[in-house]
């Protein structure tokens, strides 16, 4: 069907050298994209002017219309792989507001799966500080499942194109695809560690697992021991050290959801430690001078932070929850420091895009906006180095 369409299009517009095709999601995998580009080139189009995109990848590449001609300000992420060597850290937890917002934990799994997929298409890597089966939703499983599907589909397309003779330079991905950094505090049993070891064995060619100790150091999974019962103060101290270490493992961070109430008999599912993990991880991100992307549409601590940063006006925040959160002096002081250190320009996004990211609940929008910002930032840094 495509070859027939290309033939007819070339006959109608023989002087065209550029070819743009916007198709529904999902995006083409790199091997699929290569095959389609070959067909377009054989039909007489310039290879470097062939653009096969979905609305999501067009948007992530900074797509816009200049007059009647489409334009990508950051290039085609599936061809240029602009985020090769770049790692995005994701901090996400179900908020107390989810049910009131009509959201289920499945929505958060969809968000992280979408972000992971587009990050992979752009050549980058995902890191998440979690273990399998320790939280609901199981976001670690979402990351691992997304990467496994990506790898299997890419291998299948490579086989279709090359058979058993895949060239050595046709790797599926430029580097590792994921890094899991489970905190020692969530590995409370030998079974939890064994489950991670099984994942490590299956994914040794695509990712890595490093356990973060109570001092914030990272160790091999084979060295990890079950976390014994400790006092709340010891756990809070360990979490603080672990969260402080997270920027060492990534180049930017996305925060979504998060608890706003401390763990107690009244709120048994509240956050552990002196601060909500989302807020504390945001603090260490901006202290490290890294870009911070705030998706506040899913409520919780991220929504409170988005409002305090002035990223959007109408956010799903319960007034009582916000007041109680801000009245908590450690949280208030932390938010004030984040306000002072947060650098909008470092995100690569303008005011409208930051507002959209802070308020949307659409997984594809979150993924597209974050990748768009990271790609623009990478292009800007590359331009500075070339001067």
pLDDT on residue 179? 93
**Strands 125-128 and 178-180: what pairing?**
parallel
What's the distance, Cα to Cα, between the start and end of the chain in Å? 46
Give the residue carrying structure tokens 């697992």: 209
Structural contact between residues 314 and 359, judged by C-beta atoms closer than 8 angstroms: yes
CA 55 to CA 33: how far, in whole Å? 15
Structural contact between residues 127 and 89, judged by C-beta atoms closer than 8 angstroms: yes
CA 63 to CA 83: how far, in whole Å? 17
pLDDT on residue 167? 60
pLDDT tens figures, 268-278:
777 777 788 89
Q: Hey, how many other C-beta atoms are within 10 angstroms of the C-beta on 138?
A: 18
pLDDT tens figures, 185-213:
989 889 989 988 988 888 877 889 999 99
Provide the phi-psi class of 310: left if phi over 0, else alpha when psi is between -120 and 50, else beta.
left
Burial of 133 (0-12, 13-18, 19+ CB in 10 A): middle
pLDDT on residue 341? 98
CA 39 to CA 21: how far, in whole Å? 13
Short-list 256, 8, 27, CA closest to 137: 256
Looking at residue 179, what DSSP letter applies? Answer: E
CA distances from 78 to 42, 344, 376 (A): 20, 26, 15
State which residues of the chain have pLDDT below 70. Answer: 1, 64-68, 133-137, 157-171, 329, 380, 382-387
Q: What is the pTM of this model?
A: 0.87
Structural contact between residues 269 and 259, judged by C-beta atoms closer than 8 angstroms: yes
CA 57 to CA 286: how far, in whole Å? 28
CA distances from 182 to 6, 66, 86, 138, 197 (A): 49, 46, 20, 13, 12
Which helix (H) or strand (E) segment holds residue 256: the answer is strand 252-257
pLDDT on residue 386? 47
Short-list 19, 71, 72, CA closest to 44: 19
pLDDT on residue 164? 63
């Amino acid at each position: 069907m495509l070859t027939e369409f290309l033939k007819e299009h070339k006959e109608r517009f023989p002087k065209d050298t550029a070819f743009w095709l916007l198709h529904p999601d999902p995006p083409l995998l790199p091997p699929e994209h290569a095959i389609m580009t070959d067909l377009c080139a054989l039909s007489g189009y310039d290879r470097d002017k062939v653009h096969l995109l979905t609305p999501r990848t067009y948007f992530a590449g900074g797509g816009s219309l200049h007059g009647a001609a489409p334009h990508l300000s950051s290039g085609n992420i599936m061809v240029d792989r602009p985020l090769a060597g770049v790692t995005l850290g994701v901090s996400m937890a179900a908020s107390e507001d989810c049910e009131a917002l009509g959201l289920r934990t499945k929505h958060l799994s969809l968000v992280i799966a979408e972000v992971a997929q587009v990050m992979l298409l752009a050549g980058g890597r995902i890191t998440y500080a979690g273990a399998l089966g320790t939280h609901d939703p199981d976001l670690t499983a979402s990351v691992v499942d997304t990467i496994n599907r990506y790898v299997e589909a890419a291998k299948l397309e490579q086989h279709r194109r090359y058979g058993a003779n895949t060239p050595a330079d046709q790797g599926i991905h430029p580097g590792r695809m994921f890094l899991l950094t489970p905190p020692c505090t969530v590995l409370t049993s030998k079974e939890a560690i064994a489950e991670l070891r099984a994942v490590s064995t299956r994914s040794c060619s695509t990712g890595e697992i490093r356990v973060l100790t109570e001092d914030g150091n990272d160790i091999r999974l084979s060295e990890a021991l079950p976390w014994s019962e400790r006092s709340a103060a010891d756990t809070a101290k360990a979490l603080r050290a672990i969260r402080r270490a997270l920027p060492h493992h990534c180049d930017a961070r996305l925060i979504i959801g998060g608890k706003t109430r401390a763990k107690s008999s009244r709120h048994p599912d509240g956050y552990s430690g002196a601060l909500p993990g989302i807020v504390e991880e945001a603090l260490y991100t901006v202290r490290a001078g890294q870009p911070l992307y705030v998706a506040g549409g899913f409520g919780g601590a991220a929504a409170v932070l988005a409002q305090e940063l002035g990223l959007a006006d109408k956010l799903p925040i319960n007034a009582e929850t916000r007041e109680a959160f801000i009245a908590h002096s450690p949280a208030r002081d932390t938010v004030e420091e984040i306000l002072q250190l947060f650098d909008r320009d470092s995100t690569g996004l303008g005011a409208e895009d930051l507002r959209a990211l802070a308020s949307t609940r659409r997984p594809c929008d979150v993924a597209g906006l974050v990748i768009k910002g990271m790609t623009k930032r990478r292009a800007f840094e590359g331009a500075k180095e070339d001067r």
